[in-house]
């Protein structure tokens, strides 16, 4: 099936989000897809900083005396840095398809989101280790807490609750975007925003300027939008960790805004095949 007349096709997209070349996730003719060097960079950087930590701890005496709270704090901070590097968003080689699940098209988060969660956990542990180290006296006894330290302890408990909530939300598949026959649904970490198709302006949303941009919905009837208590107030769909190319998502929403008769096929394999064919997805 050829691309629908007047619809912006995805032919000629580049893996890095440009306007010419091959489609994301495909290698150029006669070549191969670019390799992601971040894991190697993260490992090498972590090893180098870990060696620096060992050099820092060496004057403390034999290895049995290295594991002071300060050393543990440094090691946790180094590990969190490696996790941050691995969590950096990847804009190349994102698919031109949705996940068909439960009568809807779903955009899941990339697995590297878990590196971001791990980085938060390691940073929290490093702060707690530093805090405990400040409480331990030279003779190993725990001294009483001062007012500022009690405040810090309360803050750490609050941060732990946020971390647990974020981890639980990620385990439940958030954040994600869902296209249903009735609406575009954004299920973020802390809330949900439901935008009915009737609320969106015909002809939109526009593609992001690059394949690394976010998708901005154009809402003409905000009174139709449903929002949970902690739901996102913005009409911008953040694509940093979305496991789909931003242009494909923008064009798919555009397609269903302008073709209400096709919405009944949302969430079905046949409807997904028709959508990809209509958008000219390779």
For residue 185, being part of any structural domain is answered with yes
pLDDT at 48 over 60: yes
N-terminal to C-terminal alpha carbon distance within the chain? 12
Q: Identify the domain boundary among 156, 171, 186.
A: 171
Domain that holds residue 211: 176-279
- Whether the CB-CB separation of 266 and 105 falls below 8 Å is answered with yes
Q: What Å distances lie between residue 162 and 108, 153, 261, CA to CA?
A: 22, 14, 43
Same domain, 117 and 154: yes
Q: Could you tell me the two tokens for 125?
A: 């542990």
Q: Given pLDDT bands bounded at 50, 70 and 90, which one contains residue 17?
A: very low
Q: Given pLDDT bands bounded at 50, 70 and 90, which one contains residue 184?
A: very high
Mean pLDDT of 168-186: 86
Q: How many domains does the chain have?
A: 2
Q: Given pLDDT bands bounded at 50, 70 and 90, which one contains residue 172?
A: confident
pLDDT at 9 over 60: no
- The alpha-helical segments, DSSP class H, found in the chain are 38-57, 69-87, 113-135, 147-171, 246-258, 269-279
Same domain, 157 and 205: no
Q: Could you tell me the two tokens for 160?
A: 């732990």
Residue among 129, 132, 112 at smallest CA distance from 78: 129
Q: Could you tell me the two tokens for 208?
A: 């992001």
pLDDT at 179 over 50: yes
pLDDT in tens, 53-68: 666 655 555 555 555 6
Q: What Å distances lie between residue 27 and 14, 18, 19, CA to CA?
A: 10, 14, 15
Same domain, 224 and 263: yes
Same domain, 48 and 162: yes
DSSP string, 196-259: EGGGBPTT-PPPPSSTTSPEE--BS-GGG-EE-TT----SEE--TTBSS-HHHHHHHHHHHHH-
Question: What is the total residue count of the chain?
Answer: 282
For residue 77, being part of any structural domain is answered with yes
Same domain, 194 and 152: no
Cα R_g (the chain), whole angstroms: 24
- With vertex at residue 200, the alpha carbon angle to CA 195 and CA 206, rounded to the nearest 5 degrees, is 110
Same domain, 44 and 156: yes
For residue 25, being part of any structural domain is answered with no
For residue 180, being part of any structural domain is answered with yes
pLDDT at 200 over 50: yes
For residue 207, being part of any structural domain is answered with yes
Mean pLDDT of 115-125: 76
Q: Given pLDDT bands bounded at 50, 70 and 90, which one contains residue 228?
A: confident
Same domain, 129 and 222: no
Q: Given pLDDT bands bounded at 50, 70 and 90, which one contains residue 123?
A: confident
Q: Identify the domain boundary among 126, 146, 171.
A: 171
Report the percentage of the chain scoring pLDDT > 90.
29
pLDDT in tens, 230-282: 767 788 998 888 889 999 999 999 999 999 999 999 999 999 999 999 898 87
Same domain, 48 and 167: yes
Mean pLDDT of 160-178: 78
Same domain, 167 and 181: no
Tell whether pTM > 0.75. no
Same domain, 259 and 222: yes
Same domain, 56 and 156: yes
d(Cα 221, Cα 219) in Å, to the nearest integer? 6
d(Cα 81, Cα 79) in Å, to the nearest integer? 5
Q: What Å distances lie between residue 246 and 53, 65, 185, 216, 241, CA to CA?
A: 41, 52, 16, 10, 11
Same domain, 43 and 151: yes
For residue 98, being part of any structural domain is answered with no
Which of the pair, 144 or 112, is modelled with greater confidence?
Answer: 112
Residue matched to tokens 């973020």: 188
**pLDDT in the model for residue 189:** 78
């Amino acid at each position: 099936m050829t691309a629908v007349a007047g619809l912006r096709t995805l032919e000629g997209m580049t893996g890095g989000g440009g306007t010419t070349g091959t489609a994301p996730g495909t290698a150029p003719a006669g070549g191969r897809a670019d390799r992601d060097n971040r894991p190697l960079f993260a490992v090498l950087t972590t090893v180098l900083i870990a060696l620096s930590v060992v050099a820092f701890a060496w004057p403390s005496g034999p290895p049995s005396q290295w594991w002071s709270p300060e050393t543990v704090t440094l090691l946790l901070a180094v590990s969190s840095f490696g996790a941050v590097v691995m969590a950096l968003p990847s804009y190349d080689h994102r698919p031109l398809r949705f996940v068909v699940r439960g009568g809807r098209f779903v955009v899941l988060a990339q697995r590297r989101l878990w590196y971001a969660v791990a980085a938060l956990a390691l940073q929290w542990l490093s702060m707690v280790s530093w805090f405990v180290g400040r409480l331990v006296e030279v003779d190993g006894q725990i001294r009483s807490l001062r007012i500022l330290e009690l405040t810090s302890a309360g803050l750490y408990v609050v941060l732990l609750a946020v971390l647990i909530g974020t981890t639980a939300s990620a385990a439940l598949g958030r954040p994600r975007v869902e296209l249903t026959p009735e609406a575009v649904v954004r299920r973020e970490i802390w809330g949900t925003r439901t935008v009915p198709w009737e609320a969106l302006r015909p002809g939109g949303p526009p593609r992001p300027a690059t394949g690394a941009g976010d998708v901005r919905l154009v809402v003409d009837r905000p009174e139709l939008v449903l929002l949970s208590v902690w739901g996102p107030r913005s009409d911008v769909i953040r694509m940093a960790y979305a496991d789909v190319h931003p242009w494909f998502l923008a064009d798919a929403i555009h397609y269903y805004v302008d073709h209400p008769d096709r919405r009944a096929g949302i969430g079905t394999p046949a409807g997904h095949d028709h959508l990809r064919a209509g958008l000219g997805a390779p």
